[in-house]
Structure 1
Amino acid sequence: MLDAIASHWSTLILILSLAMAAVGIVHAIMTKEDVRAATGWVGVMLLSPFLGAIIYAIAGINRIRRATISAMRPVSPEAAAARHDRDVALEALINAEFGQRFTGLKTLGDRVARRPLTSGNTIAVLKTGDEAYTAMCRAIDAAQRSVLLETYIFDNDAVGALFVQSLGNAVKRGVTVRVLIDAVGVRYS
């Protein structure tokens, strides 16, 4: 047996790598929703069957998807009714406020986004940077649990110092603060 494996080891590795690539290709085709991603992974596994299948197993399989699937599972009728009463903007309210056309847009959005339109949200149009910075710092100062600041450019100037002061005060209050600065934008700062 060992003599057969020793004399045909290259054939066995070829068969093993082709089997791994075949399994990976079938998995990529069946599970990837984006055609470009599936095509890319199939190409990687065809060009390098053994290494491509290993790379796909490590980086290509979306393990976070399970959490999304469980979040979309149907809930009990009582919980769905409570969620509806608490969160979902009533169609009669939308009809009265915005008209029948927006009701259809709401239905489309609820089905596409799989997150229902909720009431109690507002949008404030801020025309200048000074208005925006003031509103953002007020929101940071009012935060009770967490602050997530994502920005393209974060300069070391008076405005940046204003944000650093607000974020520092939030940390002192026990608020969790996370700041994400764009890697390209930071080069200009």
Structure 2
Amino acid sequence: MDAATTVSLSQSIGYGTIIHVALWLLVCLHLLLKPRDARTSLLWIFFTSIFPIIGPFAYVLFGINTVPNKGWQKQYSDTTFQKRQRLTNRNTHPLAAMHTRRNALRATLDDRMLAPFNRILDHLSGNHPLLGGNDIQLLEPAGLALEAMFLALREARHHIHLSTYIFNDDAVGQRLMNLLVEKARAGVEVRVLYDAFGSAGANIRLFFWRHRREPNLKIIGFSQANVLKRKFQLNLRNHRKILVIDGVVAYTGGINFHDVYLSR
């Protein structure tokens, strides 16, 4: 080969290749340090090797499971808070009335199968024991459940706590928002947590932003994708669908606030 056309190995490898190999090695190292299913690991190794930059970026967004770490952090935070709460309650007892009512309603299980399970739950969540005096009703179809929730919202007197995956700005969503705004203006404390991805359409159309100054109404979008806070988990979503009114009535299940849940 002519000397003029000879290209050395160092000249043939550009900065892009070096960056790609470095990022790929970092992904492989992280996979080795965080064991998981072998097929998943091999898939990520293959994907990041053939897609420069995009592959490692996708791994950061979708491949890193932060749930266990966040679970431990929350458990530590809850334990610390409960210790401080117990120390405070020794002197002031601000929750004495609530504890008295809760203990009065505490249920005991005589069933051989359920009693051990209840003891385990008491150990895991000592502040939330099994209580009696509750009634559970199955609501179906979805339209009936939505109407029941709207009716209960109209009867709210003190507070409304809502967590949902989809809060759309269609007819159902507009009806819900109008009710929440009406109750907030009447003095009811309203707190709403929607998923920023599931409700992205309404969020982009400024549906929630338009109500940001309503008194007694606080609406927050849940998201684990925030570069400024070093959060990159796009696939970590809040699928909880819970509505609690005055601490007396609660609704939960698989229904979002969207027109598609109405019967056609």
1:21: how far off?
0.7
Alignment match of 1:125 (pick from 119, 131, 137)? 137
Change (3 A) 1:165 1:26: same
Higher helix fraction (1 or 2):
1
Paired with 2:259 and 2:42, the residues of 1 have a C-alpha distance of 29
Alignment match of 2:56 (pick from 53, 56, 72)? 53
Matched AA of 2:163: L
Paired with 1:184 and 1:18, the residues of 2 have a C-alpha distance of 48
Paired with 2:41 and 2:9, the residues of 1 have a C-alpha distance of 36
2:248 corresponds in structure 1 to none
* Structure 1: stretches of 5+ with no match in the other structure: none
Q: Percent of counterpart pairs with the same letter?
A: 15
SS of aligned partner of 1:79: helix
Is the Cα contact below 8 Å between 1:17 and 1:49 reproduced in 2?
yes
1:71: how far off?
0.9
RCO comparison, higher one (Cα < 8 Å, 6+): 2
Q: Is it true that 1:103 corresponds to 2:103 in the alignment?
A: no
1:125: how far off?
0.8
Q: Is it true that 1:136 corresponds to 2:140 in the alignment?
A: no
Paired with 2:44 and 2:118, the residues of 1 have a C-alpha distance of 36
Is the Cα contact below 8 Å between 1:152 and 1:185 reproduced in 2?
no
Counterparts of residues 1-189 of structure 1 (less than 5 Å): 7-8=10-11, 10=13, 13-31=16-34, 38-61=41-64, 66-73=69-76, 75=79, 79=83, 82=86, 96-106=108-118, 118-120=129-131, 122-127=134-139, 132-133=145-146, 135-141=148-154, 142=156, 144=159, 146-149=161-164, 156=171, 163=176, 165-173=178-186, 175-177=190-192, 185=260
2:214 corresponds in structure 1 to none
Aligned length, in residue pairs: 175
SS of aligned partner of 1:175: strand
Matched AA of 1:105: F
TM-score (ref. length: structure 1): 0.55
Higher strand fraction (1 or 2):
2
Is the Cα contact below 8 Å between 1:167 and 1:177 reproduced in 2?
no
2:233 corresponds in structure 1 to none
Matched AA of 1:21: W
1:151: how far off?
6.3
Once the two structures are overlaid, the 10-residue window that deviates more, 177-186 or 117-126, is: 177-186
TM-score (ref. length: structure 2): 0.43
| RMSD (Å), alpha carbons | 5.1
Matched AA of 2:183: A
Is the Cα contact below 8 Å between 1:153 and 1:186 reproduced in 2?
no
